[in-house]
A and B are shown apart, each in its own frame.
Chain A
């Protein structure tokens, strides 16, 4: 029946309630006394400087990009893995999966060789020479 996914719905509703109920209760009972100093971001007692929303480093994006490509690979290979054990043509299934994995693996090798996986790119060689 519905492949048991109504459990997900129950989970969703319960989770939403568990977040919203304490917030609602807090809003009903807490004293309301706001002033500018209290609304300030807390930075170890100092006045906060600059903006909270800084621009991120590009390397985070590269990492997320490589992550999502391999996530797509896993999703594409999942049905293959599911039927592999019981497939009548074992050889074909094995070769298909191997070709798929190898082709994507070349992409990882390329990124590795180009140095996109190293986090501290510029300082890496300097440290090796000195130490």
Chain B
């Protein structure tokens, strides 16, 4: 059986990778991909904690971690849909997907 530690370290490494992606790239779509990776790392930690949680007093297996992740996945899909719509609208209006080009709020 794999100890909880392994899942947590893997989640930490994947989260760091996603953060690297967000900070290194200036393309808004690449940054979104980094955010997706970070979300997945957090989800992985949640599911791992859920699995290794001791059962309740009446022997029920806890499921809350899985329900959290279930909602997170569904909401992340919605979030990506909106964020990419913004990115595409940005590209068609200003002809750029570089976030440094849209640093000021009004133009």
A and B touching (Cβ–Cβ under 8 A) = yes
Q: A72-B77, A72-B78, A75-B74 are in contact. List 18 more A-B contacts (CB 8 A).
A: A58-B88, A58-B92, A61-B84, A61-B85, A61-B88, A65-B81, A65-B85, A68-B77, A68-B80, A68-B81, A69-B77, A69-B78, A69-B81, A71-B77, A72-B74, A75-B73, A76-B74, A79-B70
Shortest distance in angstroms between A32's beta carbon and chain B's nearest beta carbon?
A: 36
- Closest chain-B Cβ to A100's Cβ sits at a distance in Å of 12
Q: Mark A51-63, 1 if CB is under 8 A from B, else 0.
A: 0000000100100
In this complex, the interface size class of chain A, counting residues with CB under 8 Å from chain B, is 10 to 19
B residues lining the A interface (CB < 8 Å): 70, 73-74, 77-78, 80-81, 84-85, 88, 92
Complex Cα distance, B74 from A111, in Å, reads 21
Chain A interface, >50% SS class: helix
Q: How far is the CB of A27 from chain B (nearest CB, A)?
A: 31
10 A-B pairs within 8 Å (CB atoms) are namely A58-B88, A58-B92, A61-B84, A65-B85, A68-B80, A72-B74, A72-B77, A75-B74, A76-B74, A79-B70
Q: Could you say which residues of chain B place their CB within 8 Å of the CB of A75?
A: 73-74
What's the nearest-Cβ distance from chain A to residue B89, in Å?
10
Nearest chain A residue, comparing its CB with the CB of B71: A76
Q: Is the interface of B mostly helix, strand, loop or mixed?
A: helix
User: Whole-angstrom distance from the CB of A31 to the nearest CB of chain B?
Assistant: 40
Q: Which chain A residues have a beta carbon within 8 Å of chain B's beta carbons?
A: 58, 61, 65, 68-69, 71-72, 75-76, 79
Q: List residues of chain B with CB within 8 A of the CB of A76.
A: 74
Which residue of chain A lies nearest to B85 when distances are taken between CB atoms in the complex?
A: A65
The distance in angstroms between the C-alpha atoms of A61 and B74, with both chains bound, is 19
Q: Which residue of B lies closest to A62 (CB)?
A: B85
B85 / chain A contacts, CB cutoff of 8 Å:
61, 65
Minimum distance in angstroms from A89 CB to a CB of chain B: 19
**Which A residues touch B73, using CB under 8 A?**
75
CB distance from B21 to the nearest CB of A (A): 22
Given the complex, which residues of B lie within 8 Å of A61, measured CB to CB?
Answer: 84-85, 88
Closest B residue to A79 by beta carbon equals: B70
Across chains A and B, which 5 residue pairs bring their CB atoms closest together, nearest first?
A72-B77, A72-B74, A65-B81, A76-B74, A68-B81
